[in-house]
Amino acid sequence: MAEAVAPPGRRVLAWAQEYGVYAAVGVLLLFNVLFTPHFLDVANFRTQLVQVAPIVIVSLGMALVIGTQGIDLSVGSVMSLAAALVALYLGYGAWPALLVALAGGAVAGTAGGTLVAYVGVQPIVATLALLVGVRGLANVLVPQLVEFRNPDLIALGSSSLSGVPVIVVIAAVLTLLTAFLVRRTTFGRQVVAIGGNRAASELSGLPVRRVLLLVYVISGMLAALAGVLATARLQASDPTSLGLFIELSAITAVVVGGTPLSGGRIRVLSTVMGALLMQLLSATLIKHNLPQSWTQIVQAVIILAAVYATRERGTR
């Protein structure tokens, strides 16, 4: 019996689901090359990559969480907590301060993961509570902007390896590690299975609660690292404003990259491309003197289109 041929509309939609974000980035790059002055300057590329790197790092953790059919709204607040802890412990050295900040992110992730996996609280509710509480704690610890002059921490945010900013190198390495985790490890396969069908995963004997807990811990630690890197780049700790609304940027990158909110699938490299797409879009509109409100409108349209595409995938 001959195989049924999908209608052209279905084939186009399937192609868009798989490669749409790459095509969109390519079109945007071509537009900028043709119509944006100085776009090909090395300094411009460096600036765009440095600005998007923290969003990429946070988005990697968000992709894992969304892959389990969850959400993590606390990542921006965890970034602010990391900035506060860095300011408090920088007197002991840059690396001890970094470790304390990562530990703070792990604790926040453990709190969220425990509420979701063991208490049974909905992810959006659990992480919303952390969003408010963790930023409040950060503001209590460091109530105002604190500048610093630690050379090791400043180097983390401003130095380069063979001309590539260290912060970009870190984001690239974490992307590869996350892709390997998802595709080549038992833990990654468990994450995808749990997101696809949690009840069936429990019946098959998978350690569902432990995996969910670890996913939120990873998300918290990645957010804390992004907070440290952003603090190092700014050469100042500002828990009041650092990380504000980055959870929305991360969710956007994940969804635009093709990871469905219904879970069961994680597209790591496409998530990075989603973050790059949003960064390029914002920079393009700014360079062409369009107001920020236009950026928000276009982003909203892209998000709706991406959610519709992943919904169509799930209904087939």
Per-residue pLDDT at 69 exceeds 70: yes
3-state secondary structure of 147: strand
pLDDT tens readout for residues 260-313: 888 999 999 999 999 999 999 888 988 888 887 777 788 788 878 777 776 655
Reported pTM? 0.93
Q: Which two tokens stand for residue 150?
A: 């630690």
* Start-to-end Cα distance in the chain: 22
Cα separation, 214 vs 205, whole angstroms: 17
pLDDT tens readout for residues 1-17: 445 555 666 676 666 66
Per-residue pLDDT at 197 exceeds 70: yes
As a whole number, mean pLDDT of residues 149-153 equals 91
Beta strands per DSSP E along 21-105: none
Burial of 80 (0-12, 13-18, 19+ CB in 10 A): buried
Cα–Cα distances (Å) from 182 to 42, 45, 264, in that order, read 33, 29, 11
Q: Which of 102, 13, 16 has the alpha carbon at shortest distance from 57?
A: 102
As a whole number, mean pLDDT of residues 177-200 equals 96
Per-residue pLDDT at 127 exceeds 60: yes
As a whole number, mean pLDDT of residues 78-100 equals 96
Cα separation, 49 vs 56, whole angstroms: 10
Evaluate whether 137 touches 229 at the Cβ level (below 8 Å).
Answer: no
